[in-house]
Amino acid sequence: MTGASEIRQPLLTVEHLTMRFGGLLAVDDLSFATYPREITAIIGPNGAGKTTVFNCLTGFYKPTAGRLAMHVNDEILPLERIDGFKIARQAGVARTFQNLRLFAGMTVLENLIVAQHNLLMSASAFSLAGILGMPRYRSAERAAVERARHWLDKIGLTERADATAGTLPYGAQRRLEIARALCTGPTLLCLDEPAAGLNPRESGELNEFLLSVRAEQGIAILLIEHDMSVVMGVSDHVIVLDYGRKIADATPAEVRADPEVIRAYLGEDQNETLPCAIVMDSGTRRTQC
Amino acid sequence: MTTAASGFVSGNPGQPAFDWAAQVKDAALAGLIATLLALPLMGLQTYDIGGGALGIRTHFNWVAIAAAAVFAGRLALHLAQRFGRGRHRHRETLFTRLATWDSRWALPITAAGIIIAVALPFLPFSSRYLVDLGTTVLIYVMLGWGLNVVVGLAGLLDLGYVAFYAVGAYTFALLARDLGFSFWQALPFSGLVAASFGVILGFPVLRLRGDYLAIVTLGFGEIIRIVLLNWSPVTGGPNGISDIPRPSFLGLPFARSAPEGVTTFHQFFGLEFSPDQRVVFIYFVILALALLTNLFTLRLRRLPIGRAWEALREDEVACRALGINPTNVKLSAFGIGAMLGGFAGCFFATRQGFISPESFTFIESATILAIVVLGGMGSQLGIVLAAILLVTLPELGRAFAEFRMLLFGAAMVAIMVWRPRGLLAHREPSLRLVPRSRRHPLP
């Protein structure tokens, strides 16, 4: 992406990440790096430890060992030592969830406004200025609504802005969750299976959306995905996990030809390249082309 | 019991014809069950025949009346369901409109409610009893609005809310007894002390949700009551604290005669002294406090803190991922809810003039929670309706003596059958992209 001549400063470096749940080694000595404005995909069979990596990155798990460092403005923030809820604000890491976690009883717009909580909370002087209806808070709220409207336009939900989030169709809820994460103003966006449950047309739209977000906001994206049309379509590099270990870390084309990746996905003695689209749902390994 | 329960479900709206035979059979079955139940309950009565022995009187005519009443009632219910559907739908729309804050209905009703509340003491049929009842209703409205912050908005089930009510009341009582504080001086302290108790309760329960939280808060409520009961040197134990000062009007006390140098209310305004003046004044104090509580909580709901409470109710994990500190959000909900309870407690103490732990039992917590749930979680107007209902129903039931609680229970069951999500179950968004007025232009 950037000039090959200069040495690129990574955005996120993961070094020797290990996560153990009792006797189960979910992530085993994983190291990788992502760079600014880069889209990185983490793939692997079910139970490979992909979501565990996300949960370590966003502070839901404390890793057994290893370092997770975000490079923000020449400063290195150790994610494993920051309180979970501070990661979004301090390190600029936002995430979505494999099973949607919208505020289902609140409206679409409110979901996007809650994402800007910290900004609005300081503008409202911890509610004091807000209670008095000071102009400073009013203008901050207007700006927050404008930011929300920007993302609503992008995901095509402006018409449904005042509808209850839980009543939206599934695909729209997925898009809303991504927009909500973007409203926190992240530098790294972690998407856990954003294309799960989307039809081919919708996952095509998702590709375009992710590429345009990267182009406009200049943010890096880390995504877990089973839908190979998304993985191969947007990612700059692909990390393949199997039983918690990294078995490949290369460009999409190289990963498709990697014999060890093919072995992990299709079993031993497969003498072919990975098909252009592998869809794996709940353990079944089907190939589509 | 089973037939009675299934009867509500088998409304069968699609069925065009009324099946007389089946409905009569169903009603007869209900009558039979009523007979079996009534036989031991109503049909047989023991009485003392002297020498410690018991005789039995039979009242089979009562049993027959009960069975006939159940049969007729059951049949009437079926007929009402079959032929009264048009009216039923109409009532639905009225309630839904009120609930969805349709400006044509809800705004005039709210305005009328406030006007009636202000005018209540001066209406021709008004009496001291009515104003007293209004004061009690308003205390529960205020408590309901306070608890709504914790239960309705933040989704933290609190079964010990009465503890903060008690803390507010005792704070004022102790400040008045030991330091000579007046009601108005003590009011802010009651709120503050109750809020700190709310935060103190909040800390240990930060990780708890749902049932577990309910049990711990229930325990907290009991701890406060038992401490008040046993810490006799300070709280007076079961004897409570009496002679709590009454509120004054801008420093003018309500009394027949005042000590040297103090002008009383009736002297200042040149009125004839009447004990009703104080009752009416107390009514207006709680009306003002309740309206302030309403404004305050409505405002908070539209601020980031209020939206964070609701987001926490919806999904705590997502809140953390968005950078919201769940600890702060929960503690602020507990603290503010407790503060409002403390204000209400302070008012309760000055109104009664005497408090004891007896006033702060679990049944109070249960009543306040019932008001919030019955009103429709999160609905301010619903809480008012529920408070009026829950306070006045037992009063109306006084005529029925021991059947009073039966009436009360039946009314609650009926409400939950008709409106299972509460009287006014509708959530108004805290902000809109398209203002409602622009979307639905008034005709």
pLDDT per position as a tens digit, B326-367: 999 999 999 999 999 999 999 999 999 999 999 999 888 988
pLDDT of residue B179: 92
Residue A49 has pLDDT above 70, yes or no: yes
pLDDT of residue B363: 87
Q: How many CB atoms lie within 10 A of CB B306?
A: 23
Spell out which residues of chain B touch residue A184, defining contact as CB-CB under 8 Å: 322-323
pLDDT of residue B3: 41
Nearest chain B alpha carbon to A89: B323
Domains of chain B: 20-48+55-81 (no CATH), 102-418 (1.10.3470)
Inter-chain contacts counted by CB atoms under 8 A, chains A and B: 121
- Measured in angstroms, the CA of A275 and the nearest CA of chain B are apart by 35
Q: Please provide the average confidence, as pLDDT, over all residues in chain A.
A: 85
> Angle at which helices A170-182 and A135-155 pack, to 10 degrees?
140
Tens digits of per-residue pLDDT, B215-251? 999 999 999 999 999 999 988 889 989 888 888 887 7
Tokens (6 digits) for B70: 């159940």
Q: Nearest Cβ partner of B314 from A104, A149, A161?
A: A104
Residue A282 has pLDDT above 80, yes or no: no
Q: Do B304 and A127 touch (CB under 8 A)?
A: yes
Nearest chain A alpha carbon to B431: A110
Residue A109 burial (10 A CB sphere; 0-12, 13-18, 19+): buried
Q: Nearest Cβ partner of A101 from B317, B326, B430?
A: B317
Q: Do B303 and A162 touch (CB under 8 A)?
A: no
Q: Which amino acid is present at B188? A: P
Residue A126 has pLDDT above 80, yes or no: no
Cα–Cα distance between A283 and B46 in angstroms, integer? 71
Q: Do B431 and A117 touch (CB under 8 A)?
A: no
Domain ranges of chain A: 7-92+186-289, 102-184
Spell out which residues of chain A touch residue B429, defining contact as CB-CB under 8 Å: 106-107, 109-110, 162
Q: Do A127 and B303 touch (CB under 8 A)?
A: yes
CB A190 within 8 A of CB A159: no
Interface test with A, best of B433, B436, B437 (most A CBs within 10 A): B433
Residue B397 burial (10 A CB sphere; 0-12, 13-18, 19+): middle
- Which has more pLDDT, A113 or A278? A113
Q: Do A158 and B433 touch (CB under 8 A)?
A: yes
Q: Nearest Cβ partner of B323 from A88, A113, A127?
A: A88
Q: Which residues contact residue A92 at a Cβ distance below 8 angstroms, ignoring those fewer than 6 apart?
A: A70, A72, A184, A185, A186, A187, A188
> Angle at which helices B183-202 and B162-179 pack, to 10 degrees?
140
- Report the SS3 class of residue A246: strand
CA terminus-to-terminus distance, chain B: 49
- Report the SS3 class of residue A278: strand
Cα–Cα distance between B83 and B89 in angstroms, integer? 12
Q: Do A103 and B315 touch (CB under 8 A)?
A: yes
**Closest by CA position to A158, among listed A146, A174, A166, A169:** A146
B250: contact with A, CB 8 A cutoff: no
pLDDT of residue A274: 55
pLDDT of residue B17: 66
pLDDT of residue A181: 94
pLDDT band at A6 (very low <50, low <70, confident <90, very high): low
Cα–Cα distance between B411 and B416 in angstroms, integer? 9
Interface test with B, best of A61, A127, A137, A145 (most B CBs within 10 A): A127
Residue labelled with tokens 């969805």: B100
Q: Is the dihedral of CA A153, A157, A158, A159 positive or negative?
A: positive
Spell out, as residue ranges, where chain B has pLDDT lower than 50: 1-15, 88, 90, 441-443
pLDDT of residue B286: 94
Tokens (6 digits) for B113: 């409610």
B435: contact with A, CB 8 A cutoff: no
Cα–Cα distance between A276 and A284 in angstroms, integer? 17
| Secondary structure element (H or E) that encloses residue B389, with its range | helix B380-396
Cα–Cα distance between B113 and B119 in angstroms, integer? 10
Q: Do A59 and B323 touch (CB under 8 A)?
A: no
pLDDT of residue B417: 81
Report the range of poorest mean pLDDT among A4-8, A23-27, A242-246: A4-8
Query: How high is the ipTM of this complex?
Result: 0.86
Pick the CATH number of A7-92+186-289 from 3.30.300.20, 3.40.50.300, 3.40.50.1580, 3.40.50.2000: 3.40.50.300
CB B360 within 8 A of CB B227: no
User: Can you list the alpha helix ranges (DSSP code H) found in A37-124?
Assistant: 50-57, 108-114, 117-123
Spell out which residues of chain B touch residue A180, defining contact as CB-CB under 8 Å: 322
